Chains A and B, each alone.
Chain A
């Protein structure tokens, strides 16, 4: 079934967006770009003859490092800024990263090799490709894994404490900055995997991969920017609907409009009750 692979990728990145938002209050608009950067690094290495075993981890680690750097910079220099200011920092970072990416990787679409070439199987009468399966399993694993980590481990307890009252946690001896940077790094790595998984199915240049952040944010909104499970399911849903649209020839070019429509619907639903921005 078309769209399951994309849906899995959207789910993964959507979960990353929600987690980062809950943890740090930042909506990381550059999330997919960071992951895409890792994917591009992997591609360069592959083209230079290195195998997957070297190229993929290097790409993933690059993305993790980039994300960690951004997270550290935000924690260090924008600790007292509002969430909106910090989000706009990520917008600026996205613009800068795109320019640098164009320089390094050019603008031509590349063909990205599948992680698991060829394999597929039939479920009832739906064909699920091997990559889609991996993406879905990974997305589920990450959503569930994150949930378990947050709710059943000491580390998770500390992370949840940070997201609720970071200063109080710090005064209790929790290394807030180190943990936050760690979360950013892991989210960067996961996003790189997600982007790498979905890249084979579309013309992939750095810009279009970076714009995967849009369906991811739509997925995040479907989880109310709070629920990991909601974001994951939302991501898969968006992917499936998009895939269904692709098969209808006249809509296929407009599939990227879908996240926008989803966002509008989600927002109209979320604001049924008036909310006072209590801090202002």
Chain B
């Protein structure tokens, strides 16, 4: 299976750079975790890769083809799938129908095997599912296209950690079967527990790269990256957090 090689990716919105100088590799068979505080540009990065928004410059090679030059549909057909932030289910359609949209002419059974909980809810409109079930549905739907590269944007958003723990093994299984997974998360610990490689995005740039295991062990490095310490010049006598003098 092939992975995704991103070089020099920049995304501007209304003339303003959101994400700059992105070089990253999503290797097959591994989960690459992309962390960072909100507003860092993680979602923008994924949206540019999947084609939801246009990239300003850069390349993203999947199996030798620069997907940034392809239409959204062509990227999907070429093996790129994007699980968007906020659980973009088709609310008026049932679970089965949601899967049918992605299935083309094929069957939807294989998707239900991965998440047996959905099997009991096939005729329920997606709007009425719980957050966790919707997330399962969106994952299952993305898998029906048999992608080689899977981009997942903040799967854990608004879900209790216990539910997220139910979803992570599924993602791990996918990687073990050879898929290249880019997992974007705000919740570091859970993501790092399944990831192989990790990066931190801060204000549109990658400020930290390490193995997931290392980053889990040294959480202070992670905290500093989240607070932007890696970006600013250190000032003498710097404390990690300056608080206002109480009045």
Contacts and interface: CB of A to CB of B under 8 A. Distances in A.
B93 to A, nearest CB: 6
Nearest to B97: A157
Contacts of A158: 100-101
Contacts of B76: 170-173
Interface stretch (B58-66, B82-90, B178-186): B82-90
Contacts of B100: 154, 157-158
Contacts of B97: 157, 160-161
B104 A173 contact: yes
Contact of B102 (A167, A172, A175, A176): A172
B102 A173 contact: yes
Nearest to B138: A168
B145 A168 contact: no
Contacts of A167: 52, 72
Contacts of A122: none
Nearest to A156: B97
Given A157-B101, A161-B90, A167-B72, A173 B84 contact: no
Of B50, B91, B101, B142, the most chain A CB neighbours within 10 A belong to B101
Interface in B81-136: 81-82, 84, 88, 90-93, 97-98, 100-102, 104-105
B204 interface: no
Given A157-B100, A158-B101, A168-B84, A173 B73 contact: yes
B127 to A, nearest CB: 10
B90 to A, nearest CB: 5
Nearest to B94: A157
Interface residues of B, number: 26
A171 B93 contact: no
B52 A172 contact: no
A160 B90 contact: yes
A165 B73 contact: no
Contacts of A165: 88, 90
Nearest to B75: A171
B77 interface: yes
A99 B93 CA distance: 43
Nearest to B80: A171
Contact of B73 (A157, A161, A164, A175): A175
A174 interface: yes
B51 interface: yes
Nearest to A151: B97
A172 B146 CA distance: 11
B141 interface: yes
Contacts of A172: 76, 101-102, 141-142, 145
Given A154-B100, A157-B97, A157-B100, A170 B72 contact: yes
Contacts of B77: 173
Nearest to A167: B52
B60 to A, nearest CB: 15
Contacts of B81: 171
Contacts of A171: 50-52, 72-73, 75-76, 81-82
B52 A157 contact: no
A172 B150 CA distance: 12
A169 interface: yes
A168 B92 contact: no
Nearest to A158: B101
B72 A157 contact: no
A175 B72 CA distance: 10
Nearest to B126: A164
Nearest to A176: B73
B7 to A, nearest CB: 22
Contacts of A157: 93, 97, 100-101
Interface string A169-205: 1111111100000000000000000000000000000
The 3 closest A-B pairs by CB, nearest first: A173-B76, A172-B102, A161-B101
9 contacts: A154-B100, A154-B105, A161-B98, A164-B90, A164-B93, A169-B101, A171-B75, A173-B104, A174-B101
Interface of A: 154, 157-158, 160-161, 164-165, 167-176
Given A172-B102, A172-B145, A173-B145, 17 more contacts: A157-B100, A158-B101, A160-B97, A161-B97, A161-B98, A161-B101, A164-B90, A164-B91, A165-B90, A171-B50, A171-B72, A171-B75, A171-B82, A173-B76, A173-B104, A174-B101, A176-B73
